[in-house]
Chains A and B, each alone.
Chain A
């Protein structure tokens, strides 16, 4: 199966100033594209040649896992943003957030702390566990919580390439700003 870079659901300058056009040109146009290209180069002749992306992520390791998971993670990441974001979760997702974290504000600060304390490259994830409850999970490098039987709901990329052009070493500032472009209507559909 040949994987393709998905279209962004917004223009490359649509998330400014939270994420600059230049960052999207590299993050989507170079990093995300490279993971897609690498994956397509790595799977011919392996058992994953005709597998779907989730299966590859759950069953592979090494270079195939790294590139497959990064393709999935970035698609999921870019998809949750919108220039019309900055709304708040409602309904069942809000209830689940309140149940697990006490309030939306406590959830946000706990999630930012998870991102800030991920040492090196990685991702912070909001996930739904087997009991249907929400949890926050930290993953290194290409890590994706679906390998632990958890369902990804929402994520922040804390690789330095996600923010270095716009925020340099200030990862906490970047994560605090990101809430302004999160579209919770999209996140609610995942829950």
Chain B
């Protein structure tokens, strides 16, 4: 009789584990980075990574998890929330999505120039890779206040450079974000202070075009 109780208990434990896991799926968590916090130096300092990834991104995720409880977005995926919400939920969801894309596009050993269909598309639209980079940097300089500059893909595979304010992401305009550069001052103030232009021109050294090509191909 007693030996029968042991499997029953483990069945309950199994249910508990499954229940806990499915609950965990409804909350967002900080993505693991494929590099150390000091790996992007000197382009992005370890101190900036500690704050930007460890405090700002973590803060947006913590806020988002609190804000969606009891709303229509409680079980929604991140992109659906960004497309359908507004106000504080949009701000925190947008910033969670934006920073996830941002941090996961860098590498200490990046592929510095794209190849294949993405490279062909860039050449077709901008003539050469340097012209694209210059227009992208100029767009970043043209964002007044806090925001983002994106390379995005339209429905028919064309590329667009898109400026967004605050938490904006081109998914709300039915475009797929490929490359995102954060021009909030927190992204560069400790390392470059007021010189946003220098930060933007340095970032190419750590952008991994392997990642951007994968996003373009998706």
Residues of A at under 8 Å CB distance from B? 26, 30-31, 34, 63, 66, 119-122, 140-142, 159-161, 164-165, 168-169
Contacts and interface: CB of A to CB of B under 8 A. Distances in A.
B55 A169 contact: yes
Interface in B93-149: 144-147
Nearest to B95: A119
By CB atoms of chain A within 10 A, which of B146, B147, B167 has the most? Answer: B146
A164 B189 contact: yes
A119 B167 contact: yes
Contacts of A122: 145
Interface of B: 51, 55-56, 59, 88, 91, 144-147, 165-167, 184-186, 189-190, 193-194
A161 B145 contact: no
B181 to A, nearest CB: 16
Contacts of B55: 168-169
20 contacts: A31-B194, A66-B144, A119-B91, A119-B166, A119-B167, A120-B145, A120-B166, A120-B167, A122-B145, A141-B144, A142-B144, A159-B145, A160-B189, A164-B185, A164-B190, A168-B51, A168-B190, A169-B56, A169-B59, A169-B186
A171 to B, nearest CB: 10
Contacts of B51: 168-169
A161 B91 contact: no
B44 to A, nearest CB: 15
4 A-B pairs closest in CB distance: A160-B185, A120-B146, A141-B145, A121-B145
A62 to B, nearest CB: 9
Contacts of B190: 164-165, 168
Given A26-B193, A161-B194, A169-B51, A121 B186 contact: no
B146 A160 contact: yes
A120 B184 contact: yes
A142 B91 CA distance: 20
Nearest to B56: A169
B165 A120 contact: yes
B166 A161 contact: no
Given A120-B146, A164-B186, 16 more contacts: A30-B194, A31-B194, A119-B166, A121-B185, A140-B145, A141-B145, A142-B145, A159-B185, A160-B185, A161-B194, A164-B185, A164-B189, A164-B190, A165-B190, A169-B51, A169-B56
By CB atoms of chain B within 10 A, which of A30, A159, A160 has the most? Answer: A160
B98 to A, nearest CB: 12
A30 B88 CA distance: 32
A107 B88 CA distance: 24
Contacts of B91: 119
Contacts of B59: 169
B201 to A, nearest CB: 18
A26 B194 contact: yes
By CB atoms of chain B within 10 A, which of A63, A142, A159, A168 has the most? Answer: A168
Nearest to A31: B194
B193 A30 contact: yes
A169 to B, nearest CB: 5
Contacts of A141: 144-145
Contacts of B166: 119-120
A165 to B, nearest CB: 7
A24 to B, nearest CB: 12
A84 B59 CA distance: 36
B141 to A, nearest CB: 12
A168 B54 CA distance: 12
B144 A161 contact: no
Nearest to B59: A169
A168 B56 CA distance: 10
